Structure 1
Amino acid sequence: MTGRPDPEPRPEPRPEQPPGRRPGRRWVLHVDLDQFIAAVEVQRHPELAGRPVVVGGRGDPTERGVVATASYEAREFGVGSGMPLRVAARKCPDAVFLPADHAAYEAASVRVMETLRSLTWGGAPVVVEVLGWDEAFLAAGPGADPAEVSADVTAGAVAEPTTGPRGEGVGGGTPEQPPGPVGPRAFAALVRQRVLEETGLHCSVGIGDNKLRAKIATEFGKPRGVAELTADTWAEVMGERPTDALWGIGRKTAKKLSALGIDTVAQLAGSDARVLAAELGPTMGPWYHRLGRGEDSSPVDATPWVPRAHGREETYQVDLEDWERIAEEVRVLTRRTVADIDREGRPAARVAIKVRFKPFLTVTRSLTMPAPTNDPVVLAEAAVSLLDRVEHDRPVRLLGVRLEMTEPTGGY
C-alpha cells in the first residue's frame, strides 16, 4: 500500500426517529472500576483519602519494582502504571507507597461482580462477562423485554457525568425498581449507584451497541461517569484518533499500520482489507479492519474464563550473577507455578522461561514436554535446562517461569 487511503465516506443519514424508538438495538455496557487498586487501599486506610497513593512491588520506592496503579492525585504528577517505583518517587516525592495485596483486591472484585450479577434489566437477570478484577461487560439476559432495554434515550450523546445524589439519572426511581422502561443510560446510572452502595467503590460505564464500542466509550466517561458510543457516532468521535486508541491495537501494531500509511481510525476503516490481510496476516489483517469500523459481533458471555497457562516471575533487588543460584531460583518459581496449575486440575504441556538481563534485555525460551505432567521435579528440571539456551554473559535482574496447560475438556 502506498500513500494514505481516503477515510470511508460517511453513511447516508438515517431517518429521524423519536428518542427511545429504535427497536431491535441491543445494548452492551462496560463497567470499569475507577483507580480500583488505589481505591481499595484508600478504603482500608481512610486517612489516605485525597493524598497521592502509589501501589506496587513491596511498597518501597528505593527497591526495584513497578507501579501497579496510582491514585488520580498521583497521576497528576505523571505517575502511571508500569513505571519503575524509583521514577514514580522522583515525580511525586510526597506520594504514599504501598505494597500490592492481591488477596484484598480479589475480595473486593468478588463483591463488585456479585453486585453486578444481582441486577435485572428488562425483567431478566443481566449477563455478566468478567474481564478482570476491575472490569466487566453487561447485557440484558434471555427473557428480557426488548421494549424496555432497547430504548435509545440520548441519541448522539457522548459523555455525561453521573455523580449526583441518589436517584439522579434513573428517573427518580429506586435502585431496586426504577419506574417504566429502563434505557441504557438509566441502567448505567443504576449500575454505578448500586456498585457504590454495595462496595463503596466508584465506577465508570461505557454504553455501546457492541462490546468494542462499549469498552472504548468507558474511557470518555472516566472518572465516575457514563459515556455512549454507537455506529451513529463512531466516525465523528473516533475517526481522527490514532489507531492505538482502539481496544486491541497496541503501539507495535500501530507502527506496522503507520508503515502502511494508516495512522488514524478513519484511515483504517477506509483501508483495503485484502491489503491488510496480505501485510498483517489473513486473520489479523481483516480483524484490524473491522476494529477500524467499530465492528464486533462477539456476544457478552458469562462463561468463566479458562486460563491457558500460569506463570510466576521475580525481580531481584540485587542482580544475580551465580548461575547455580539462578538455576535454583528457576526451580523455586517452577514449584510455585505448579501449585497454580494443580488448582486448575490440568497438567503442563509446555514450559517457558523469561530472563531479563541488566539493564533491560529480555529473552524467552520454551520447550514442549514429551508428555504432559504436573510433577514439580520434572518440570523444574525442564525449566532449568532452558538456561543452557541463554547466554551467561551478564547479570540477571528478573526471572520468570510459565507453564502452558493441556486444553480443558470441551475446549476453550
Structure 2
Amino acid sequence: MAATRCPGGPRGSGACRCACASAPTAPPPPRVARSDGSTSTGASSCPGTARGSTAGARLAARRSATAPSASRTSRCRAARRSPSACAGAASPCPSSTAAPTSAGASTTSPARPSARWASAPPARSSRPSDRRAGATRPDPTGTGTRTCVRIPSGPRRTIGGDVSRRIAHLDIDAFYASVELQRRPELRGLPVIVSGDGPRAVVTTASYEARRFGVGSAMPTAQARRLCPDAVLVPPDFEAYRAASRTVMALVRATVDTVEVVGLDEAYLDLTGLFSPKAEMRRLVQRIRETTGLSASVGIGPSKLVAKVASDAEKPRGFLVLEREEAVRRFADASPGLVPGIGPKTVERLAALGIETLAQLAATPDEILADRFGTNQGPWLRRRGAFLDDAPVSEERIAVSESRERTFDVDVREPHEMEEHLRRMAAELCDGLTRQDRRARTIAIKVRLDDWTTVTRARTIPEYTAEPDRVAGVAVELLRAYAPARPVRLLGVRMASFAHEAAANAGRGDQLALEV
C-alpha cells in the first residue's frame, strides 16, 4: 500500500488541504502501509500529531491543555515533509481551518488566524491611524484580522529629552597655573604661585599643591610666601593665558550654540534641547584635555546659579549635576557667601540679623530683608538663598563698567603725585573705550589707604564722554574733595552708565547728574 502523508499546504497558508480533517474519529484507526513495507496506525500519518497513537494522544492532550487559543498552535509541519495524502487521521490536523477541505467536507475547528501572525511581533506601521490602540489591519494570509496594540514606552519625550532648562557651567581648574605647567612640565607636582614679585604684589592664582598650604587668589604675595616658603613663583603671562582661552572657547562654541563667556577660564553653556547633556559635556571635557592638556570642572543644573555652585563643589575635575531642590538640601548649612553675588560685607550684615546659613536665608520673609537691604536687594537675597534664578545665558556680555587701578609698591603721600597717577590711568581707560567706541557719563575714583580703608567717590555728568581731559578733570576734583588724610596704597578710575544702556532704557525719563 502506498505511503500516505499530509501534504499540508503552501507555507504560511494557514490551511491543511487534506482529508484528515474529515476522517472518522471512531477507534480503532485503520492501519496504513509505508513505502518501506511496514505498517502503522493512521494517527501517525498526520504531521499534526506525534508518531504512534499512544504518544500522539498524550501529546495532543498536553497541547489542548496548555494552548488556550489557536494562537498557541504551531503551524503545520507538513510543508517540510514529502507530499502525500493523509488518510485515517485520529484527530483533525491542528492547522486546519473552517475552509472546506479537499474532500469537500467542512471541518469542526473554528476559523483562526495564521500561526505566523499569532506568534510573531507586529510590524510597526508608518501610518498614524494604524498605530492607534485598537486599530486593525487585515491579516495578509486572508484568514482573519489582527489587532495592533500600542505598547507604551514610558513618558513622552522630545528630541531633547528633558524639556526643562539645562545650563552648564564650565571652569578650567587653576587656569593660569595650569597653563604655566603646560609650558614648564618640570614644575608638575610642585607648589606654584602665579604672581608678580613686588612688595605690594598679590596672588593671581596658585596650583592645588600650593592651595593645600592656604594660598589663595588675591592674597598678598608676601603672605603666600610665608605660608608656603618652598613655592615656585612664576610671573603672569596674560598673552599666553588669552591664547589658551581662545582655544578652549573655540571647542566650547563648537559644542553648543549659546555660550556666555564670563572670563578667560569659565563660561555658561545653554544645553537645553540636547538629547544627552551630560554625555555631551563629558565629551567636551575630554576634547579640552586632549587638545590643551587642561582639566575642567563642570556643573549642570536648571539655572546658571545652580550650575555655578555645582561646578565649584567638587573641584578639581569635578562633574556634578544638581536640580534646584537637591542644591537646597545639599548646601542648606553652608554660609550665604557660597552663592555668587553675596560678598563678605553682605554676609556680615546677614549674620547681624541671625542669618548664618542658606537655609535660614531662604526662610527669612522678604519684609525683614527689605527693611535691612532695600526693596530690591532684600527679596533678591532670599531668592539666591533658595537657588531661584531665571537669568538667561547671553551670548553677548557687555561690561557695565570699565576701570583702571594700580597698587603702589610704596605708599603715595603727596597729593600732586596722586593726581598724576589718576591722569595717567584716566588716559589709559579712555584709550580703551575709544577703541571700543563706547562713552559714559559716570566717573568714579577708588582710594585705598595704608590701613586698608577703601573709599569710593563718583559723579554723573550731563554728557557722554571718552575724552581723557574731561575724565581726568572730574577724577582729580573728586580726589581733592576727599583729601586723603593718610598715605595711599591704591588708586583707581572707573567709568559707568554707558550710552548703550541709555538706548536700552529709552522712555524711562532723563537721568539726573548726581554726585555721590
- Please, what TM-score do these two structures have when normalized by structure 2? 0.64
Q: Conserved in 1, the CA contact under 8 Å of 2:440 and 2:499?
A: no
Match of 1:87 among 223, 234, 240: 223
1:244 partnered with 2:244: no
Q: Conserved in 2, the CA contact under 8 Å of 1:30 and 1:218?
A: yes
- The aligned amino acid for 1:26 is R
Match of 2:177 in 1: 38
Correspondence list, 1:153-192, <5 A? 182=276, 184-192=277-285
Q: Which of structures 1 and 2 has the bigger CA Rg?
A: 2
What secondary structure is seen at the aligned counterpart in 2 of 1:368? strand
Distance 2:301 2:281 in 1: 11
Distance 1:205 1:367 in 2: 41
Q: Which runs of 4+ in 1 moved over 6 A?
A: none
Match of 2:397 in 1: 305
- The aligned amino acid for 1:274 is E
Match of 2:378 in 1: 285
Q: Conserved in 1, the CA contact under 8 Å of 2:193 and 2:232?
A: yes
1:192 deviation in Å?
Answer: 0.9
1:315 partnered with 2:407: yes
Distance 2:496 2:393 in 1: 26
Distance 2:398 2:353 in 1: 36
Superimposed CA distance per residue, residues 301-345 of structure 1 (whole angstroms, 9 cap, x where no aligned partner): 21x211222211111112222222221111111111111111221
Distance 2:492 2:239 in 1: 21
Match of 1:270 among 330, 338, 363: 363
Superimposed CA distance per residue, residues 218-274 of structure 1 (whole angstroms, 9 cap, x where no aligned partner): 122311120122134233211122222222222222222222222212222222223
Match of 2:186 in 1: 47
Listed as ranges, the gaps of 5+ residues in structure 2 are: 1-153, 506-516
What secondary structure is seen at the aligned counterpart in 2 of 1:353? strand
Match of 2:315 in 1: 222
Distance 1:256 1:318 in 2: 33
Match of 2:41 in 1: none
Match of 1:179 in 2: none
Match of 1:373 in 2: 465
Distance 2:270 2:400 in 1: 26
Q: Conserved in 2, the CA contact under 8 Å of 1:341 and 1:405?
A: no
Q: Conserved in 1, the CA contact under 8 Å of 2:168 and 2:271?
A: no
1:210 partnered with 2:303: yes
Q: Conserved in 2, the CA contact under 8 Å of 1:55 and 1:69?
A: yes
Match of 1:407 among 494, 499, 514: 499
- The aligned amino acid for 1:315 is T
Distance 2:365 2:236 in 1: 46
Quick check: 402-411 or 96-105, which moved more?
A: 402-411
What secondary structure is seen at the aligned counterpart in 2 of 1:297? coil
Distance 1:351 1:242 in 2: 34
Match of 1:324 in 2: 416
1:94 deviation in Å?
Answer: 1.4
Distance 2:425 2:496 in 1: 14
1:110 partnered with 2:202: no
1:299 deviation in Å?
Answer: 2.0
- Please, what TM-score do these two structures have when normalized by structure 1? 0.79
Superimposed CA distance per residue, residues 95-142 of structure 1 (whole angstroms, 9 cap, x where no aligned partner): 1212222222222212111110001xxxxx43211111111111236x
1:72 deviation in Å?
Answer: 0.6
- The aligned amino acid for 2:483 is E
Distance 2:394 2:440 in 1: 27
Instruction: Classify 1:386/1:270 alpha carbon distance in 2 versus 1 (closer, same or farther; 3 Å).
Output: closer
1:76 partnered with 2:212: yes
1:23 deviation in Å?
Answer: 4.0
Which structure is richer in relative contact order (CA contacts within 8 A, separation 6 or more)? 1
What secondary structure is seen at the aligned counterpart in 2 of 1:68? strand
Q: Conserved in 1, the CA contact under 8 Å of 2:337 and 2:344?
A: yes
Match of 2:435 in 1: 343
Instruction: Classify 1:270/1:397 alpha carbon distance in 2 versus 1 (closer, same or farther; 3 Å).
Output: closer
Match of 1:9 in 2: none
1:67 deviation in Å?
Answer: 0.7
- The aligned amino acid for 1:200 is G
What secondary structure is seen at the aligned counterpart in 2 of 1:351? strand
1:33 deviation in Å?
Answer: 0.6
1:126 partnered with 2:262: no
Q: Conserved in 2, the CA contact under 8 Å of 1:273 and 1:289?
A: yes
Distance 1:404 1:26 in 2: 33
1:370 deviation in Å?
Answer: 4.1
- The aligned amino acid for 2:192 is V
Identity of aligned residues (%): 43
Distance 2:341 2:401 in 1: 21
Q: Conserved in 1, the CA contact under 8 Å of 2:439 and 2:499?
A: no
What secondary structure is seen at the aligned counterpart in 1 of 2:469? helix
Q: Conserved in 2, the CA contact under 8 Å of 1:55 and 1:68?
A: yes
Distance 2:193 2:203 in 1: 7
Instruction: Classify 1:365/1:274 alpha carbon distance in 2 versus 1 (closer, same or farther; 3 Å).
Output: closer
- The aligned amino acid for 1:131 is V
Match of 1:27 among 166, 180, 184: 166
The count of corresponding residues between Structure 1 and Structure 2 is 348
Match of 2:445 among 344, 353, 357: 353
Instruction: Classify 1:23/1:98 alpha carbon distance in 2 versus 1 (closer, same or farther; 3 Å).
Output: closer
Distance 1:316 1:251 in 2: 25
- The aligned amino acid for 1:116 is V
What's the C-alpha RMSD, in Å, of the aligned pairs?
A: 2.2
Distance 2:300 2:418 in 1: 49
1:405 deviation in Å?
Answer: 4.9
Distance 2:171 2:309 in 1: 11
Instruction: Classify 1:359/1:272 alpha carbon distance in 2 versus 1 (closer, same or farther; 3 Å).
Output: closer
Q: Conserved in 2, the CA contact under 8 Å of 1:185 and 1:226?
A: no
1:406 deviation in Å?
Answer: 2.3
